[in-house]
Amino acid sequence: MLDTTPLLTAVDRFADRLRSAPQSRLQQGAAAEGLALARELALRAQRIEEPGGEPRVMPDAGVFAVADQVAVAGHDLAEILRTTADNADMAAAPSRELDEAVELVAAAAARATL
Instruction: Give me the pLDDT at residue 114, please.
Output: 77
Instruction: Give me the pLDDT at residue 92, please.
Output: 63
Instruction: Give me the pLDDT at residue 93, please.
Output: 83
Least Cα distance to 112 among 70, 50, 84, 59 occurs for 70
Higher pLDDT, 113 or 81: 81
User: pLDDT digits over 45-82, tens only?
Assistant: 999 999 999 999 999 999 999 999 999 999 999 999 99
User: pLDDT digits over 6-34, tens only?
Assistant: 999 999 999 999 999 999 999 999 999 99
Give the residue ranges of DSSP H helices in 1-114.
Answer: 5-20, 23-25, 31-49, 66-87, 92-112
**How many domains does the chain contain in total?**
1
Q: Supply the mean pLDDT for the chain.
A: 93
Which pLDDT band holds residue 1 (cuts at 50, 70, 90)? Answer: confident
Structural domain of residue 65, as residue ranges? 5-112
